[in-house]
Chains A and B, each alone.
Chain A
């Protein structure tokens, strides 16, 4: 987890950090496990408040993957919008079992639930490839 400001070149060289925001415990564990197995640094948050607590420490997050329906002060829509405005270097992907609802979010990409991991990894690769 890198805390200082880095250049885009440095960001592309280090291990990508993904913040997974999901209140369903077993789903979050599964997604985090799959992403770690792919070599990503994964930080887990159970709601938007935890996600923002992590982001506000200055920990650089390359990608936020958030569920839409979550308890707490913000749902996934509000979190996605906030992160896009306040942390413009962080890519945002929202996940939902209803694609039409996910498309309403202010996000770079959407992921369908239940997760199809091969498709998810392709989407992540596309998002994290420099220049996209």
Chain B
């Protein structure tokens, strides 16, 4: 999905909605290193707590399609369009896509990309592989 306008990253806030903590922390930190302010939400319900509080600035919602909670990424996207139409929405369905999208956002950030997005993807995959199973 193309963003409506080129992002400058200056004082822009991205709300990252991702229920897997390993993915969320790495994507969020990557975007911070590109100069964005990042708010983290583990699922759509947390995102709504943030989005309903209009004192919290949010410019872009960057959500996983299949977030846990009472709504998925599509439903969250609909909610945002209806209730906070000034906010852009970016949905990603896989970790690979999320990494790609993060890199695209980063391209428009105020700071240069901290490292190649492939390294971000590799790092997320490596850390996920270390998680104990079961």
Asked if A pairs with B, the answer is yes
Residues from chain A with a CB closer than 8 A to the CB of B132 are 56
Interface string of B28-51 (1 = CB under 8 A from A): 110010000001111000100110
Query: Could you tell me which residues of chain B, from 58 to 102, have a CB within 8 Å of some CB in chain A?
Result: none
**Cβ-defined partner of B29 (8 Å) among A1, A3, A46, A53:** A1
B3 interfacial contact with A, CB 8 Å: no
Residues from chain B with a CB closer than 8 A to the CB of A57 are 22, 127, 130-131
- Band of interface residues on B: 20 to 34
**Cβ-defined partner of A58 (8 Å) among B24, B29, B32, B130:** B130
Contact B21 A50 (CB under 8 A): yes
Residues from chain A with a CB closer than 8 A to the CB of B22 are 53-54, 57
Q: Which of A25, A26, A54: most chain B CB closer than 10 A?
A: A25
Interface string of A36-69 (1 = CB under 8 A from B): 1000010111100010011011110000000000
Chain A residue with the shortest CB-CB distance to B28: A44
Contact A29 B50 (CB under 8 A): yes
Residues from chain B with a CB closer than 8 A to the CB of A29 are 39-40, 50, 56
Query: Could you tell me which residues of chain B, from 104 to 134, have a CB within 8 Å of some CB in chain A?
Result: 127, 130-132
Chain B residue with the shortest CB-CB distance to A1: B29
Least Cβ distance of B54 to chain A in Å? Answer: 13
Contact B50 A44 (CB under 8 A): no
Least Cβ distance of B52 to chain A in Å? Answer: 10
Least Cβ distance of B62 to chain A in Å? Answer: 15
Q: What is the CA–CA distance of A46 and B21 in the complex, to the nearest angstrom? A: 9
Contact B29 A26 (CB under 8 A): no
Residues from chain A with a CB closer than 8 A to the CB of B56 are 26, 29
**Cβ-defined partner of B25 (8 Å) among A3, A25, A44:** A44
Chain B residues within 8 Å of A, Cβ to Cβ: 21-22, 24-25, 28-29, 32, 39-42, 46, 49-50, 53, 56, 127, 130-132
A-B contact pairs, 7 of them (CB 8 A): A26-B53, A44-B24, A44-B40, A50-B42, A56-B130, A56-B132, A57-B130
